[in-house]
Structure 1
Amino acid sequence: MPENDAWDYTLYIPNDLRAVTVCRRTLRLILTLHGLIGIVDTAELLATELVSNAVRHTKGPAALRVRRTPEGTVWIGAWDTDPAPPDPPRPLEQVAELEDGRGLGLVKACAEYWGWQPTARFGDRGKYVWCELGAA
Structure 2
Amino acid sequence: MAIAQGRAPAPPPALVRACAARSGRTRVITLDLESDATSAHRVRTATRQVLAHWGLLTVAGVADAMELAVTELVTNAVQHACGPVQVRWHRRPDHVLVEVFDGSPVRPRPRPSAAGQEEAAEHGRGLALVDACTDAWGWSGSAAGEEPELPGKHVWFVCLLDSERRSRAA
* TM-score range for the pair, normalised by the shorter chain length: 0.7 to 0.9
Q: Please give the TM-score of this superposition, normalised by the length of structure 1.
A: 0.85
Letter in 2 for 1:102: R
Whether 2:73 is the aligned partner of 1:50: answer yes
What secondary structure does 2:105 align onto?
coil
Q: How many residues align?
A: 130
Partner of 1:9: 29
The equivalent position to 1:26 in structure 2, one of 41, 46, 52, is: 46
Q: Structure 1 CA distance, aligned partners of 2:63 and 2:86?
A: 19
User: What value does the CA root-mean-square deviation take over the aligned residues?
Assistant: 2.1
Query: Shift of residue 17 of structure 1?
Result: 2.1
Number of the residue aligned with 1:84: 106
Q: Which structure dedicates a bigger proportion of its chain to strand?
A: 1
- Structure 2 segments unaligned to the other structure (5+ residues): 1-24, 143-147, 163-170
Q: Which moved more, 1:84-93 or 1:41-50?
A: 84-93
The residue identity in structure 2 corresponding to 1:118 is G
| CA distance in structure 1 between the aligned counterparts of 2:40 and 2:46, rounded to whole angstroms | 10
Q: Which has the higher contact order (CA 8 A, sep 6+)?
A: 1
1:112 to 135, 140, 143: 135
Partners in 2 of 1:99 and 1:80 — Cα distance? 22
Higher helix share: 1
| Residue type of the alignment partner of 2:27 | W
User: Offset at 1:33?
Assistant: 1.7
Question: Gaps (5+ residues) in structure 1?
Answer: none
